[in-house]
Amino acid sequence: MDLIDTHVHLDDEAFAGDLEAVLARATAAGVTTLAAIGTDLDSCRRVIALAERYREVRAVLGIHPHAAGETSPAQVGNLQAWFGHPAVVALGETGLDYYRDDAPRDQQAALFRAHLALADETRLPVVIHCRDAYPEVLTILEDFPRVTCIFHAFSSSLEIAHECIARGHYLALGGPLTFPNARRPVEVARAAPVDRLLLETDAPYLSPHPFRGRRNEPARVRLVAERLAEVRGEPLETVAARTTANARCVFALDPVEIRA
């Protein structure tokens, strides 16, 4: 089994005490690649360091919308210093969060646009954080038609899912797909084209059933894959192969050696 966790916060303090064991469990579960997400400049430095230490880790660099109130859009340009690094595969996570509203919305939009402009210049994909702001995100994306996006933890309707896919973007599904009361994620998982779906954990957050409420980790992306296969009525091996191929395509990943 070859699985890719397209969204994990490996630099989070939750993994400080046992990261080696976490990565070993991921390997045992068939996870060959992990996209470690940066959320500010310090976090980006940490995920680059992790990518240099562990060959299965790739780096996604960005400034989270929660930090928009204390971050100038010009600071996004500081990410360019890492663009020559072979482990860097995308920008993000960036976007709009109208659920928590931790930063003024106009400042979130300005920071988001700065990421998209940089992605348009570099041809890197963008990992999008979006909560209660899908219409606004899609409106902004109209100004950047060449940018390919991964909608992290996609949580909107099937109609919005089809709109995202029609524009050439990808939807990443994680732990919420496995929750017993899941409705929207199941609808999307069942009806969306499989060639536009990705798997993620968002670890240490959003642990899947039956581990909901506990620390999440990359090995549990297999539980998401199993639920996706169940919902679609397809073999697990087929879903794993297709979502992994999608991730390799969008992140332009080379084949990864599996640790002995």
Show pLDDT as tens, one digit a residue, over the chain (260 residues): 899 999 999 999 999 999 999 999 999 999 999 999 999 999 999 999 999 999 999 999 999 999 999 999 999 999 999 998 999 999 999 999 999 999 999 999 999 999 999 999 999 999 999 999 999 999 999 999 999 999 999 999 999 999 999 999 999 999 999 999 999 999 999 999 999 999 999 999 999 999 999 999 999 999 999 999 999 999 999 999 999 999 999 999 975 443 33
Question: Which residues pair with residue 88 across a beta bridge?
Answer: 59
Burial state string for 57-81 with b = 16 or more CB within 10 A and e = fewer than 16: bbbbbbbbbbbbeebebeebeebee
The yes/no answer on whether domain 3-250 falls in CATH 1.10.275.10 is no
Q: Where are the beta strands (DSSP E) in the chain?
A: 3-8, 31-37, 57-61, 88-97, 126-131, 149-151, 170-173, 197-199
**SS3 label, residue 9:** coil
* Cβ count within 10 A of residue 50: 21
pLDDT at 255: 52
Q: Domain-by-domain residue ranges, the chain?
A: 3-250
In whole angstroms, give the CA distance from residue 243 to residue 231.
Answer: 15
Longest dimension (CA), the chain: 49
Task: Tokens for 92, please give them.
Answer: 């993000």
